[in-house]
A and B are shown apart, each in its own frame.
Chain A
Amino acid sequence: MTSAENYAVWTSELTKQFGGQTAVNKINLAVPKGSVFGFLGPNGSGKTTTIRMLLGLADATDGEIELLGNKMPKQAEQALPRVGALVEGPAFYPYLSGKVNLRRLDSASKNADPKTREQRIDRALAKVGLTNAANKKVHKYSLGMKQRLGIANALLQERDLLVLDEPTNGLDPQGTREVRNLIRSLSSDGTTILVSSHLLSEIEQLCSHVAVMSAGKIVAQGSLAELQAQNQTYLKVVTPDAEKTLKALTDAGMKPKQETKHGLEIFTSEVEHGFDGDEVLRKLLKAKIKIKSFAVEQASLEDRFVDLTGEGFDVVQ
């Protein structure tokens, strides 16, 4: 068993059953301190249930949780003030303004100093760009504005850990980019960030570490680099000369897949990780093959994700 002290979130054999159904199945989650940790998985894979257990909203059926070194849910009073969270979408009192909503949620925390409350609220609203809408009733907010207000709520105090469940849900491209920048800047201040998302490009751009959940289990976990290293590398050649290319590639010992697009042939072939394309390229040029494009590429996180979690809509039984 790993020592939990280097981790902001650490679980051991964490399990949750609802009736006969196992929503979370013996997971060992380890979120290193200071990391931006991408928590991936298709809808229904158990991510949100896991997050609910981490935050003490739901009881684990079995297993252990340590949150910032505190046992959950026993030491929730010590751990939770240091945690900001956005869980399964923002939720507010629709008949109150954004500012009054934050005041309400801040006053719920015994650790929040009432003297600095207004100041902290204004700062959090400014961070998410809601200063001008602060006094507007929340029922008049757009989905994106509610999402920002939810993030502002998570930022009301200095936090050691932020848990952001689908933080860019409902945001437009500008908003998404701002949230990404916000996460980066918070992370550079030393805050550990656990961000769950199904937007893989998002995770790929942001995260240092990743865990992938599927049907209640963690099927992959580690640093992004480690995970990407396991991805298949491909050689991709686009050319008008189908026959000559096929021959050259086969001679080089490859078994390329071929498809035709816009009158050009696209050859893709699996190659070793760290493959050097120079030699093949030289051979192709020597054979006077016209080349439109030549690249050694790594499968995207999305390909890896689908590999791990299955294809199509019925991935969870």
Chain B
Amino acid sequence: MSSSNRLGMSLVWSELWVLFRRWRTLAMLGAIALIPVFLALAVYWSSDTLAPGEGPPFLDRVSQNGLFVGYTSTILALPLFLPLTIGVVAGDTIAGEANQGTLRYLLISPAGRIRLLITKFIGAIAFVIAGTATLMIAGAIIGSILFPVGPVTLISGDVISVAESVWRMALVASYTTVSMLGLVAIGMFISTLTVVPVGAMAATVVLSGVSQILDNIPQLELIHEFLFTHYWLGFVDLLRQPIDYASFGSNALLQLAYVVIFGALAYSRFASKDILS
């Protein structure tokens, strides 16, 4: 028996293989890639130039520097589209296997319930990484085709080199990935409650919407910093000079708390669940 298998890596590779071979996964990544493409084309073809500060953050800068396409696309994708695709993947984790009947065969194999749950979590995170990377890479490609590329002027007014800007893109992608961990954990927990994957997906996406709405009601300020969507747009702080890591830290801590709580709930539910599908 090989050591990689003892750690259960076979199942992780298999999970990634099955996830990324699926048409649905590839279609969602393709749709994510279309966001920067549409954005860039719309800016390219529109005759009016935006006044500085008009429209969503950075949109006014896209035509001057193609490297901004990725950042702007992230802002556009964050409230709905990215959580939607992540809701689909996280909601499908357990419920999808249960609905298909493959869950019973995985468990008889035996996959081990904790091991399966962790594997599914890793798979969903891999999708999040793929999604945020797709936004950035597709943005950089279309941006450099349509617009000039050069040193980037940050919100603070400082100018950074192209190489430094690529590093910031990677930082923003990691920030966004971390931002989605809480949602992934919530989606997985809901997924252990049902054998109807579409229900788990919808519930996950709805929760991300509800959290964002609550975050926008000033009277509820007391709970704002505990909402898992609260720091989603905080990646903007990574585009300052010097980089402000404060929101990265608070965000990571908050997401960790959500992962621990909903991971524990998912485990306690899944560990004792009768698999009757």
Contact = CB atoms under 8 A, between A and B. Distances in A.
B110 A109 contact: yes
Interface residues of A, number: 36
B105 A107 contact: no
A96 B111 contact: no
B14 A87 contact: no
Given A56-B107, A57-B104, A103 B14 contact: yes
Interface in B106-127: 106-112, 115-116
Interface string B260-277: 000000000000101110
Given A52-B275, A58-B274, A92-B102, A80 B109 contact: yes
Contact of A113 (B5, B18, B111): B5
A110 interface: yes
Interface in B76-132: 100-102, 104-112, 115-116
A28 B163 CA distance: 72
A183 interface: no
A110 B6 contact: yes
A59 interface: yes
Interface string A36-54: 0000000000000000100
A92 B102 CA distance: 6
Given A110-B8, A113-B2, A113-B5, A95 B23 contact: yes
Nearest to A16: B274
A55 interface: yes
A29 B115 CA distance: 31
A80 B108 contact: yes
A51 to B, nearest CB: 10
Nearest to A79: B110
A89 B275 CA distance: 14
A91 interface: yes
A76 interface: yes
Given A91-B102, A113-B2, A96 B21 contact: yes
A91 B108 contact: no
A275 interface: no
Contacts of A282: none
B272 A153 contact: no
Given A91-B105, A108-B111, 11 more contacts: A55-B108, A87-B104, A88-B104, A89-B101, A94-B100, A95-B21, A104-B14, A105-B102, A107-B10, A107-B14, A109-B109
Interface of A: 52, 55-59, 76-77, 80-81, 83, 85, 87-96, 103-115, 153
19 contacts: A52-B274, A55-B108, A56-B107, A57-B104, A59-B272, A77-B110, A81-B110, A88-B101, A89-B101, A91-B102, A94-B100, A104-B14, A104-B18, A107-B11, A108-B10, A110-B6, A110-B110, A110-B115, A153-B105
